Structures are given as C-alpha cells and as structure tokens.
Structure 1
Amino acid sequence: MLGTDRRPPPTDPPAGGPDAPLALLDAAALHTVRRRAGLRPARAAPRPEPAPYDGRRPVPEAAGTRLAQLLADRSAGAGGGRRGTAPDLGELLPQWLAAANARGYRAPAAVLPALLDAARARTDLRPGALLFAGARGRWLARLNPEWRFALRDASGSGALPPVRDTEAVRRLWAEGLFAERIALLSAVRAEDPAAARELLGSLWSTERAEDRLLFLDSLRTGLSPADEPFLEEALSDRSRNIRATAAELLSALPGSAFARRMAARAATCVSMDRTGGGQVIVVEAPHECDADMRRDGVVPTAPAGRGERSWWLGQLVEAAPLATWPARLGGRTPEEIVALPVLDDWADELHAAWCRAAVRQRDALWSAALLGRVSEVAPSASGQAGLLKHAPGPPSAAPATGPGTSSLAERARLLATLPPAERSGWIAAFIAAHGLSEAFQLLGVCAVPWAEPVGRAVVDALGTARDEGGYPWSFSGVMGLAERCLDPAEADRLALLTAAPDGPETEDTRHGADGYWSEAFQRLVATLRLRAALLAELDGPAPP
C-alpha cells in the first residue's frame, strides 16, 4: 500500500481560488474510488442453455476462410468514380450463401456474429444468412437485442420437429416464435398439404391479420381443390388483403366455384361481334359492382385516373380462368384471340387483364401469345444464329408494343412463366435486336447462371457498346448483373475484350472510354473467375 499516507483526503467541498480546479478533480477522484469500493456483486444471472445441435455438414476449410473474407469486406464497396478491376466481394456474399445452403452446410460457429451483423445491415441477405445460421444463429440472436430481427425473419428449419410427430408439431405451432411457425407450416405443407391446412385452421381466428396473411400465402405450395373450402371462408375475412389473397389463390383453381363465378361474369362482358362477321371482339364492361362481386374480392373503388367500369372489367377478366376464352371466342387459340381487333378502344384494358391472368395462372401458352411470336429471329451481334424457328417473342418489335403488353415490366412477368429454354431464347433475341438499354428488367427473370444464349447475347452486346464509343457506366446495371449471373465459363471469352482496341495508344484511348471499358471487363473477368473458385471451394473436401 505504498503511498496511501502521502496526503490526507480532502474533507471540505472545494473552495474558490487558484487551486479550485485541482481541488475539484481531487474530490471527483475520491468520489469515484468510494463508489467503486461500495459496489456489491450483482446477483448471478442464470447461464444460457447450450446452443442446440446442428446436424448439417461443416463447410470445407477453404470455403470457411473465404466466407470470413466475404464478411470482413462486406462494407468495402466502391463509392463514386472508377471501381477499378477488383471484384466486389459484398455482392458475391448472397451467391455464396445460396450455394452453401444448397449443399446443406452449417455455419461455422466463429462467423455467426459477423453473419448476423451482415444480415442486420442488409435485408437482402437475411433469408440466406438466417437459413445458413440455423438454430444456433437464432440461439445467439436471443442474446443480443440488435439481432432480434432473426427471431422473426429466420426460416427456423434447423429446429423443426419431424412432420409426422403430430404432438411436437402442434406444440410448436401453438407456442413457437413467429419465424418457427412460418417455417413449420411451410415444412408441413410441403410434405402433407392437408395436415398443414388443418394446422392453419386450428388457430386461424386468434391470429393477427398480418400473420394470417403470411400463413395463408403458404397455401401456394401444393395448391389443390382440397383447399377450396378454406379459401372460400377466407373470402369473408375482415382483412381486405386476406380476401384479395384468397381470391387470387382461388382463381388459380380453374374448377373452383369462385373461378366459375368469375368466368360467368367475365364472359358476359367479352364476346364476338356478331354483326361484323364474327372477327372482332366487343366489350361491355360491368355497370355496377354488386355485393357478390365485392365478396369475391372485386375492389369497388377505382384508383385515381381510372374509370370504374374499366377497373371492374380488369378485375373480372384477371380472375377468370383463361380456359374461358377459347370456348367463348369461337374455339380460337390464345395466339389467335390476342390477334383479334377489339372495338371501342378496349384492347389495352382487355390485353392487360389477360397478361395479369397469365402471370397469376402461370399459363405459358397465353404468355407466349401475349408476348408475340415470330417465325425467324435476326442473328446475334456475333453473327451466330438466334432462336429456333417459331420461338416466342418479337425481338424486331419496339419494346413497348407487343400485342398484349404495354411495358417491359409486363413482359418480364410474362417471361417468368415460360419454360427456361424459351425464356432465355426470347431474351437473347431481344438483346440481339435492341441491345442492352432496354434489357435490364428482362434479365432479372433469367435463371442463374444465365443460359448460354443469354450469356453470349450479353457479351456480344457489351462488345458492341464498347465499339460504338459508349461508356461502361451507361450499362452499370447490366454489368452488375453480369458479374453475378454470367456463367463463369464465359470468362475466357470475355478476357479477349479486356485488351484495348487495335491502333496507336493516345491520351484519349488511355484515359477515355477504352480505358474504362478495359477496367470494367477486367473486373468482370476477375469476378467470374472468383465465382468459379468459390464454387470449387464449396465442393472441396470436408474438414478433418
């Protein structure tokens, strides 16, 4: 205790004078020591339960190291200006998580905090990150308020009881967290749709409206006529969103009573003009929205700028089974129906409703008809042949003038209903005819990695854009998609574009568009090769 008696402690409050500041500090120091000395040990909190067991496979060692690198660099994205040639690691994290989840790996315990932090900062990461984190991630999230989002958003699949364990399923359904209940309902629905429907109905009346809506959405998986009675009851729900979702699901059941009611209503509004030789469609929109229509989900109040009658017509046609129209319109095919003229400027409203119906009912034939068809496609920018004969799509038509579409967004939704090969071929032909400026929304519906026709069309179009003197930032959206979606096998072909065009180097070529393009292509090639390395690491040997 050397030094404790060097001077007595102050006994009086500090007085004024030149030594007042020093005296005040002495008094504060003494008070601090007294306060610390008087602290009593807090009551020991109960130790948390051990983290639950996760039976999934551990990631290979190289893949775990790579994940730590991706998480450490997730906030290091480039700001404005030139991005350089290095890949953006943060943009590869969702793809890494998707690949790891597809292979059934569990998250290394050491990266769980960083993984939850990443999911907190980026909502786009949450589904993949929380599935990868599993039950241990949820266990850890309970210990930190900043991670509480994981308790509601997590998939919960790692801690679910076996679907056939009826007692455990009902207990978790009654007592579990919302995330666990959502995951449980989805798991049961995938294996036993009837059991899931029974589970949903057991507590339906006691659920919050927003929870009922998400639970109801689970019926999309394995939707069948057996779901009709439950959905018919939901049409009378007090929540408008639930009524609308129930109506949407029922309209996807062509044999349902709801679909028959909507078909009958829509058929009275659309028919062939018998006075003009039967080659023209005539439309008579509803004059009122009665109580039965409202009960079936028809919204009576039109949005601003829309006429009431056209608003009601659109909802009826959208909800009617598409099989209604060949029988109603002379036995014609969808392609022939879409090509018919429509009297009194009703064509846009009618075609738009058919577009929505084709998307809702996932009808590829109607989608192809509404997108348009061509007998032959112009060659791609590389001079190679385009689509097969009679492939769907009008790549020579203007982007917004298809027979049944008025925007690229509508085309993208229709394309999503086509088989992957048809979809890829249509988009490749569109890019070959129009370039990349209008293609961004369409590329978003392509499966990853892009099929060869799409990848080649994008690479060819990027090369053409460079040769025409454009700048890569004019195509930044497509370049970003290409980094994430191009098949890594395209890297070698792209490497040819990283070199500057032939000719003498000048100040303009060194610091102008050519230099920017060279950097952009180098970054794209580096990203593709890194993606290939990520997948190879995930397929590597298991850790000892």
Structure 2
Amino acid sequence: MNGTAAALPPSGGTDTWEELVTAALLGTDRRTPPGVAPGPSAPLALLDRAAAETVRRRAGLRPGPAAPRPEPAPEDPRPPLPAAAARRLAMLLADRPGTASGGRRGTAPDLMELLPQWLATANARGYAAPPQVLPALLDAARGRTDLRPAALEFAGPRALWLARLNPDWRFALRALPGGGAALPRPEETDRVRRLWAEGLFAERVALLAALRSREPDTARELLTTTWATERAEDRLMFLDSLRTGLGPRDEPFLEQALADRSRTVRATAAELLSALPGSALAARMAVRAAACVAVDPLHPVPTLVVEAPHACDAGMERDGVVSRPPAGRGERSWWFGQLVEAAPLATWPTRLGGRTPEQIVALPVADDWQGELHAAWCRAAVRQRDPAWSRALLGPPSAPEAGGPGAVSLAERAKLLGTLPTGERAEWVAGFIGTHGLSEAFQLLGVCAVPWAAPLGRAVVDALNIARDAGSYPWSFSGVMGLAERCLDPSEAGRLDALMAVPDEPEDASPGAGGYWAEAFQRLVTTLRLRGVMREELEAP
C-alpha cells in the first residue's frame, strides 16, 4: 500500500506496551512484565510478548490518502560523460581518506583531493553528471563547502530536484537564488523589476551580480531605485557587487554614497572610487598625499621626506579616511597610510621628478617612514591592479633576505604577484624558490595558475630534491608536496622516476627521513600519472 497511515488505539493498550518497554530497560530480573513468568526464560518470553504487541499495534493503523508522486526530474541537455570518465568519477566519490600507520600517508594518491580538479575539467568541457552518481556527489559537496560551486554546476538541474526531496541536500537550494529558478535576463524588464522588488535578499544579490556581469549600467540603475530604503547591511552587500565592471560611469552614484549614514558603506564607496584613478575622489587624495611626500632638496643623496597629516578633517573623513587608528598605531601614520593607499599611483612620477616606479621605490626615506610608505604603495598597487608598481615593489626574486624593496611580508608579495600576468607570476616564484628555497614559498605558490608552468614545476621539484639530499625534516615539506601533487603538470612525472628510490641518509638526517621522502615522491609520481589519465579520459570523444 502506497500512502500514509493514521494510528488507532492498540489492542493491548498503551499501558501494556509501556510495561514491556520498562521491563526491557530495567531487565527482567528487576521488573517482570505482566503475563511473563519470572525465571531464566523471562527475557525470551519478553521478546515474544513484544513481537506480538508490535504486530497488534501495527494492525491498528488505518490507511490514509496516498501522497502525490513527485514531478519527474528535469532533463539535462548536456552531453554525457565518456564511459571511462564516469567510472573514474565513481571511484573518486567512493574514496574515503584515511591515515596510514604511524601518521604517514603512504604511496597511494588522495583521490578526494583530485575531485575538485576533475570537476573543474568536466565543467570546462560541458559534460552532464551521470544520474546514478548524483547522491554521492551531493554527499561529498555537503561535507566540503569548497566543492559546492563546482559540484552543483556539474550536477545540474537534477541536483536541485533531488535536494527538494532530501533535507540533507537542502544546501543546494540555498546556494542558488530561488532554489534554482532561472534568473530573468536583462531584457526581461518586468521580471527583473518584480524580482528586485519582491525577491528574497539572496535572490536580489544574485540578480544584481548577474546583471552587473552583463550590463553594468542596468544593474547600477536598478540599485538606485531602492537605495534610499535599503538596510545598511544590505546596501553594503549591494555596493560590493559594483566591483564587477567598475568604471567611470559609476562615479556619480559612488560619490553620493560617500554621504551615506553607514560608516562601512562610506568606506566601501571610497575604496571603489579610489580604484578609479580618474575619479574626483582620487584627485583629492592625490593632492593630500602629494603634500605629504617630497624629495629633500638639501640632502646630498636624493631622499624622500614625509610630513604626515596633523589632523583628519571632515573632508578626509568624507572621502573614506578612518580617523581613529587601531590599538598600537599612531594617528598621523594611520592617516598618512590611508591617503597614500587611495592616491593614484600615477601621482608619484610627476610629484617626484619624473622618476620611474623602480627609481622611486629605490629612494631612501628619511626618519623611518619607509615601511609605512612602501606598505601603502603595496596596497595601492593591489587595489589599482598596477603591474608596473607591483614589479617595482616586489623587486627581483633574488633580493636578499627574501624581501623586495617594498614588499616586506609574504602576504604583501602574494597580493602583488596576483596583479601580474600568470606566466610572469610563475617565473618570479620560480626565481624566488631557486634563491630562497621552499621554506617561505608556500603562500606564493598558492597564487600561481594550475597546472604550474614548466619553470616553476622544475624549481619546486629541484628544491624538494635538495631538501631530501640535505637530510631535512621531510614533514616540514608535506604542504608543498601536497600542492605539487595537485598543481604540477602531469607531463613532469617522467622526470621524477629517479627520486622514488630510498636515498642514502646523511648521519645528521632525521631517522627514517629517506623512507618518507621515497614514499612522498612515489605518491607524487603516481598522482601525476593518474591526473594525466583522468585528463585523457575527459578528453575522449
């Protein structure tokens, strides 16, 4: 019978069932239920009574109306996966990572760590997910939020159909506006305005982001229709969407947002305007910042001198300068850093005698202001996506003490590298590793495109080999080795065969280090070859 059921009073009464449950919990030696003789046979008699009472209770159920059947799952028009790729996906989803004995990972690849790359490749080729793997795919995405965007894209509309039937997969409905309902196109004016006026917050954010990526002006004009009535936290989220396609036509709206009643909204508007070098705010910041920095005409060697602002006036605050510094920061240096960060970088060659960014960064700075000035220039280069200034601040990768003339921390260098073309970025990091090794390179490797370019891959492998030959603690390089498994080009596998043997250990080496290194390189080679096979399977006709 397909349907629901309504309970009737059981024949034996609820008291009988409760007495049986109590006796089972306490034990028949302490509580003998009615109708059961005490003694060794009491437990078996209790089970018999419970079975009979269960049948009696179930017999007292009245049939209810059948529930409506769900609508059929939607069709997925994308081409199916090649058969070998479908089998590979099932293997990846079935893998359950575990820890080998002694905390060592062994030589087997970590299949779950290859799943994100597999999904990215499958999505790039526009394949549809096999229906039979959708439950396992949704379970994997449920446990790993980093998988969700790629997994839901690959799963397609059928994942949303399943998510409506299983509460464990409701995250898929939350991840897409309207539970997967298609957003209106820009030309569907009525639908756009209706969703903007009546939709949930997540739907409105998604609508604004979608419009912004295709028709920036339409998105901004839609935002202006309700701006004055939005909550401050919502205005902040909506304003942040203007980063996509930011251009001069956004300046009038952002200038108005500088007078917003919310401090965070004002700060975001100011940040966006400062990323537009031709904006009026950028020009105002340029005047303020230029007044603080000059070349000392009396010094025998050209030297920059800094005169930080003595006050934060109302105009500075309106343009996004935060007046109160964080704990441990002086007011004047705090204000000065914000002015330089927001000023167009084109200000400085004109202000400082026509010098290039490299020449400006190389100038000495008087009175210990160099760190503050260079840090602000780093933030400006990242905000304005200026590769020329990024190169100057990074300096050559062989700079002493692993630091460039302007970037003094790994975080700053990683952000500056993000403004460079991918090939140049990989070449710089390869040079850095060749000079300084891998101890400080992990964060820099994270900004390099995957798969790594050949020079970068060779630099990483050579540095690992040097560390192995030196008898270094192998566990110190486990993070880089894990990155190499995911990011090295699979074609590099052939070069690594010689590294899989257990090396002779120096006397001062860590006990067992040679065996660990051999295992790590075996796993690396095995993983690279598996990635190569996976790529071929997805490229199969």
Question: Which TM-score bucket, shorter chain as reference?
Answer: 0.7 to 0.9
Q: Provide the residue aligned with 2:240 in structure 1.
A: 217
**1:263 shift after superposition:** 1.5
Amino acid at match of 1:92: L
The structure-2 alpha-carbon separation of the partners of 1:26 and 1:514, relative to structure 1 and needing over 3 Å to count, comes to closer
**1:65 shift after superposition:** 1.8
**1:430 shift after superposition:** 0.9
Q: Provide the residue aligned with 1:449 in structure 2.
A: 451
Q: Provide the residue aligned with 1:102 in structure 2.
A: 124
Q: SS at 2:317's partner residue? A: helix
User: Is the Cα contact below 8 Å between 1:491 and 1:529 reproduced in 2?
Assistant: yes
User: Is the Cα contact below 8 Å between 2:472 and 2:509 reproduced in 1?
Assistant: no
User: Is the Cα contact below 8 Å between 2:82 and 2:540 reproduced in 1?
Assistant: yes
- Counterpart selection for 1:395 from 393, 398, 414: 398
Q: Provide the residue aligned with 2:211 in structure 1.
A: 188
CA distance in 2, matches of 1:134, 1:181: 22
Q: SS at 1:55's partner residue? A: coil
User: Is the Cα contact below 8 Å between 2:468 and 2:517 reproduced in 1?
Assistant: yes
Paired residues in the alignment total 511
**1:38 shift after superposition:** 3.0
Q: Provide the residue aligned with 1:523 in structure 2.
A: 523
Higher relative contact order by CA 8 Å / sep ≥ 6: 1 or 2?
1
Query: What are the within-5 Å matches in structure 2 for residues 405-420 of structure 1?
Result: 405-420=407-422
Q: Provide the residue aligned with 2:484 in structure 1.
A: 482
Q: Provide the residue aligned with 2:140 in structure 1.
A: 118
Name which of structure 1's ranges 151-160 and 14-23 shifts more when overlaid on structure 2: 14-23
Q: Provide the residue aligned with 2:29 in structure 1.
A: none
The structure-2 alpha-carbon separation of the partners of 1:108 and 1:152, relative to structure 1 and needing over 3 Å to count, comes to same
The structure-2 alpha-carbon separation of the partners of 1:314 and 1:87, relative to structure 1 and needing over 3 Å to count, comes to same
The answer to whether 1:313 aligns with 2:315 is no
- Counterpart selection for 1:433 from 430, 435, 441: 435
**1:536 shift after superposition:** 1.2
The structure-2 alpha-carbon separation of the partners of 1:79 and 1:326, relative to structure 1 and needing over 3 Å to count, comes to farther
Q: Provide the residue aligned with 1:226 in structure 2.
A: 249
Amino acid at match of 1:516: Y
User: Is the Cα contact below 8 Å between 2:471 and 2:508 reproduced in 1?
Assistant: no
User: Is the Cα contact below 8 Å between 2:12 and 2:56 reproduced in 1?
Assistant: no
Query: What are the within-5 Å matches in structure 2 for residues 65-80 of structure 1?
Result: 65-76=87-98
Q: Provide the residue aligned with 1:533 in structure 2.
A: 533
CA distance in 2, matches of 1:131, 1:164: 24
The structure-2 alpha-carbon separation of the partners of 1:53 and 1:314, relative to structure 1 and needing over 3 Å to count, comes to farther
- Counterpart selection for 1:40 from 62, 68, 82: 62
The structure-2 alpha-carbon separation of the partners of 1:78 and 1:216, relative to structure 1 and needing over 3 Å to count, comes to farther
CA distance in 2, matches of 1:231, 1:397: 43
Q: SS at 2:103's partner residue? A: coil
The structure-2 alpha-carbon separation of the partners of 1:420 and 1:9, relative to structure 1 and needing over 3 Å to count, comes to closer
CA distance in 2, matches of 1:313, 1:508: 51
Name which of structure 1's ranges 282-291 and 86-95 shifts more when overlaid on structure 2: 282-291
Amino acid at match of 2:138: L
The structure-2 alpha-carbon separation of the partners of 1:210 and 1:537, relative to structure 1 and needing over 3 Å to count, comes to farther
- Say what the alpha-carbon RMSD is for the aligned residues: 3.2
TM-score, normalised to structure 2, is 0.85
CA distance in 1, matches of 2:414, 2:34: 79
CA distance in 2, matches of 1:262, 1:439: 35
User: Is the Cα contact below 8 Å between 1:152 and 1:177 reproduced in 2?
Assistant: no
User: Is the Cα contact below 8 Å between 1:115 and 1:129 reproduced in 2?
Assistant: yes
- CA deviation map 1:384-419 (0-9, x unaligned): xxxxxxxxx2414112x4210221111111111112
The structure-2 alpha-carbon separation of the partners of 1:496 and 1:259, relative to structure 1 and needing over 3 Å to count, comes to same
**1:84 shift after superposition:** 1.0
CA distance in 1, matches of 2:300, 2:180: 61
**Which runs of 5 or more residues in structure 2 are unaligned?**
1-10, 20-32
Amino acid at match of 2:394: L
**Which runs of 5 or more residues in structure 1 are unaligned?**
1-7, 373-392
Amino acid at match of 1:527: T
- Counterpart selection for 2:462 from 451, 460, 473: 460
Name which of structure 1's ranges 471-480 and 356-365 shifts more when overlaid on structure 2: 471-480
The structure-2 alpha-carbon separation of the partners of 1:40 and 1:18, relative to structure 1 and needing over 3 Å to count, comes to closer
**1:68 shift after superposition:** 1.8
Name which of structure 1's ranges 117-126 and 481-490 shifts more when overlaid on structure 2: 117-126
**1:122 shift after superposition:** 1.0
Name which of structure 1's ranges 275-284 and 17-26 shifts more when overlaid on structure 2: 17-26
Name which of structure 1's ranges 15-24 and 108-117 shifts more when overlaid on structure 2: 15-24
- Counterpart selection for 1:281 from 300, 304, 318: 304
- Counterpart selection for 1:146 from 142, 162, 168: 168
Q: Provide the residue aligned with 1:131 in structure 2.
A: 153
The answer to whether 1:270 aligns with 2:273 is no
User: Is the Cα contact below 8 Å between 2:308 and 2:333 reproduced in 1?
Assistant: yes
What percentage of residue pairs aligned between the two structures are identical? 71
